[in-house]
Structure 1
Amino acid sequence: MNCLQLTLYPSITLALLDENLVKIFGVKKGVWAGDDLYISSRWYDPWKYINDATGHLRDKIHVLAEKFGRCVGISISPGDEDLLFVVAFLTQNTNYHTNVLRWTRVLFSKTENLAEIIETASSIGRSYQLQRLPQAVKAYIELGRPRDRRELLRVPGVGPKVADLFLLFAGDTTTAPVDKHFMRTAPRLGLNGKSPNSAYCRKYTCDSCPLSASCLRGQAAEKLGRLAGWVQTLAYLADKGVFGDFI
């Protein structure tokens, strides 16, 4: 993969592009990903935030920045947050590249309107993700299309990983979605936390949570700052075997 492909592979913005990486859903239809400041990730430079890394992580993050800082970024698509919420919700317990991209291609080809997605989603397939999507989208609208993590966690079916995935690719790079890939790879960086506890996430922010010190999401936010989402992106690529030498 080239740098643009590496950046897009983990991103939920990939669901808005065709096989030639041209925007076919949402705003800016017809734009090639490499020409867009945000989708290409030219808006994000990890070197700007290199001092966010603290303590024993600093040297390892420098190594990652040297290897990948000019290549792998974070692809976002401002103005497409509603569609990105749909994509993020559908990623639960399934293969993103096999299933979610297929589901969203069919769904968004029919409609990009959330009210119509509520009526249409369950007819796309029988998976529980699609069957639960209408209730989630309805709650998302009723809650005012939230960008706050605890508000997102009020949406039925949205847990910490889905909320953080959405927030990361809506541009909050302090957010690191804790999935199996990050859990397996983070210890190589010296991060050894547990998965977020949903009940505590709904009650506390990370900086006030009593479990934060033992939570991988809390550790990443505290010790990596605005690099947290970027490091998680690299961890995803490494665990997927996209590149061999991670750290």
Structure 2
Amino acid sequence: MGRELRLEEPSQRQDAGAKVACITGDCCNPASWPAHWDMACIRCIFCPDDAEVMSRARAHGEFWVYDEIYYDDPYFDGKAWITRRFHGGGFAYDDGNGKKVVGLLRKVDCAAAAETIYHEMWHTAQPDTMTPNEKEFDAYYNTELWTIRKGLSGRNYLRMTDSYGNTLPDRDAITAYVNETYPQAVQPDGWIIDDYIKQPPQTREFNEATGEARWRPSREGDGLYAEAQKVSEANLEAAEFYCE
């Protein structure tokens, strides 16, 4: 399952995510966009250049919007296992029946919502052989490429300027960001944290390549993914994702 860190945004208008038909004209001027997203501004950002993303979302997606998404991740702070809250901007997973379930926040602006949609739709096409942190690096890198191409603000702290003056995703910054922000960092030898014991503090690591598991003393920075906690759920029809 993929998830994206929430971008901080002001409070939300009530009709974000509402059905609106416009995909061209004045409503595609960013100055006219609402304080918080609706499907009109999403179409303006994605169409026509990224119609394929909209088509996949419509054909295979199941979308839900929330007031809040968060994760209370187990985390070892060097002394004890504690809970570290991760405020999510979205999530995506395969339901096992051919649907890609995507969660979005209501309380973000048009550019932030579009970034989350692209990020989470990118997750839906990733192979299962990738580790969680590899998936996040891949999604953040390619989403940043996309926001640069689209002229969206994106995340400046994940960008760099090369010797020719081109703005590019910063691989080192993205790697550091993912390993610092997300739990379950992959160890250099390919082992992944998958369980823990509070007392005495012990961490279990699993090697997907060999199927082996091992326990060791917990180290500062060890962590695991928790289940998503979702506040105020509502369905967003996949049919709304179109370019016409």
Fold-level similarity (TM above 0.5): no
TM-score relative to the length of structure 2: 0.24
Q: Higher strand fraction: Structure 1 or Structure 2?
A: 2
User: In proportion to residue count, which structure has more helix?
Assistant: 1
Higher relative contact order (Cα pairs below 8 Å, separated by 6+ residues):
2
Work out which of the two has the higher radius of gyration on C-alpha atoms and give 1 or 2.
2
Given the two structures, how large is their TM-score scaled by the length of structure 1? 0.24
